[in-house]
Structure 1
Amino acid sequence: MRKAILIYNPMSGDHSIINRLDHIIQRFQSHGILLQPFRIDLECEDMLVTVLKLDKYEFAAVSGGDGTVNFIVNIILKHGISIPLGIFPWGTSNDLARCLGLPANADELIDIVLGGNTSRIDVGLINDKHYFLSTCAGGVFVDVSFSTHSELKKNFGLFAYYLKALSEVTSIKPFKVVLKTEELSIEEDILLFIILNGKHAAGFHNLIEEADISDGIMDIVLIKSCSHMDLANLFFNVLSNSYINNKNVVKLKAKACTIISSSDINVSIDGEKGEGLPMSVSFINKAIEVFVK
């Protein structure tokens, strides 16, 4: 019998994976695939590495949000494990799945994995030690994501972040950064920087419409220091996908960059708290294999 592993985060999103486990296992088993569940927690990394290295799995189904997928991708890349990933996007933030055009319906996701069509996508590498798949960001709304209550995020999802962000606009302060790419250097007072792999970030649809998740190039967005009123207007511009020509937005493309600041800035990596600045970021072209439609 064929073997695969289902790696799931029981705390992701609305915790619905717990009620879906039996159905998922049954669907794969009916196609001759023995699906072994593996529950992740804060202390499971060594055990998961051992399991993935010792057992021969055809693929890994990963249930959770961007943070969960980030955790798994860091494990497989750091330990030289080659395995295609089937992403079941049931977290609060699911930007990678949106970039890949994946549905949320369990049976549709199972059908995609059973169909066997895969694609290789890029990953970002921070300070030569930590990988990310969708976003690396620092500044204003990053602080908000860390301070938003978990129950609010569970019940209202990304809308909770938006509500929290709007409530804190008047307390936002800019910080100075020096950003260098292979072609230019920028010194600017900013409120936020985002490095993206793909079109979507923080739940915003088509933030970078022309972005390609497999071209080896990162998109960089800087939000310059501006008035509280301009920032509120920009926020609604982003919600309506009309921010591109805003005077307070800088957009860049690069294969690598460095960001330096003397300020103590919160950094988010795929929605989870990361190390602060300075940082160097490079992109690895087509580093991982994922199931797609």
Structure 2
Amino acid sequence: MSHRKALLIHNGNAGNKNIEKALGAVVPVLSHHLDEVIIKQTKKKDDAYHFCQSIDDSVDTVFILGGDGTIHQCINAISALERKPAVGILPGGTCNDFSRVLGIPQNLAKAAEALMAG
């Protein structure tokens, strides 16, 4: 999988309360495969939606580290874009139903590796 630039959106308020540990598991894996990783943390209810709504053509991939609500917001915003980036789901919520259904590993480092492997 060839990526140049990615946006990593994380929700520090989701089920994963130790966001530093979560980012520590994910960012090194992504950085190894990508030229640039932009990290944005949601602070208000609709931040994830607005981050995705304003993605420009230079972003190849959006990684969503959060729960089902954050994923929902991001997918809704991305669906309206003319050029849609690839999307990677990183389990960071309480239940992670969406990522479980997709068969994404629930260990964050393994999930990031799996996503980068395609």
- With the length of structure 1 as denominator, give the TM-score of the two structures: 0.36
Corresponding position of 1:49: 53
CA displacement at 1:48 relative to structure 2: 3.9
Q: Residue type matched to 2:53 in 1?
A: V
Q: Which has the higher contact order (CA 8 A, sep 6+)?
A: 2
Cα separation, 2, equivalents of 1:102 and 1:69: 14
Determine if contact 2:4/2:36 at 8 Å carries over to the other structure. Answer: yes
Corresponding position of 2:32: 30
Q: Does 1:6 align with 2:12?
A: no
Corresponding position of 2:111: 109
Corresponding position of 2:19: 17
Cα separation, 2, equivalents of 1:23 and 1:95: 20
Give the alignment of 1:1-293 within 5 angstroms: 2-40=4-42, 41-44=44-47, 45-50=49-54, 52=55, 54-116=56-118
Q: Residue type matched to 1:63 in 2?
A: L
CA gap of 1:49–1:95, structure 2 versus 1, over 3 A, is: same
Determine if contact 2:14/2:67 at 8 Å carries over to the other structure. Answer: yes
Higher strand proportion (structure 1 or 2): 1
CA displacement at 1:43 relative to structure 2: 4.6
Cα separation, 2, equivalents of 1:12 and 1:96: 14
Cα separation, 2, equivalents of 1:106 and 1:81: 28
Equivalent residues, number: 114
Structure 2 counterpart SS, 1:30: helix
Deviations along 1:5-43, one digit per CA (max 9) or x if unpaired, are 101111000323332224422222223432110112325
Q: Residue type matched to 2:116 in 1?
A: L
CA gap of 1:110–1:42, structure 2 versus 1, over 3 A, is: same
Determine if contact 1:17/1:63 at 8 Å carries over to the other structure. Answer: no
CA displacement at 1:47 relative to structure 2: 4.7
Higher helix proportion (structure 1 or 2): 2
CA RMSD in angstroms comes to 2.1
Regions of 4+ moved over 6 Å? none
Cα separation, 1, equivalents of 2:112 and 2:51: 26
CA displacement at 1:66 relative to structure 2: 0.9
CA gap of 1:74–1:22, structure 2 versus 1, over 3 A, is: same
Q: Residue type matched to 2:45 in 1?
A: L
- With the length of structure 2 as denominator, give the TM-score of the two structures: 0.81
- Structure 2 spans left out of the alignment, 5+ residues: none
Q: Residue type matched to 2:97 in 1?
A: D
Q: Residue type matched to 1:59 in 2?
A: T
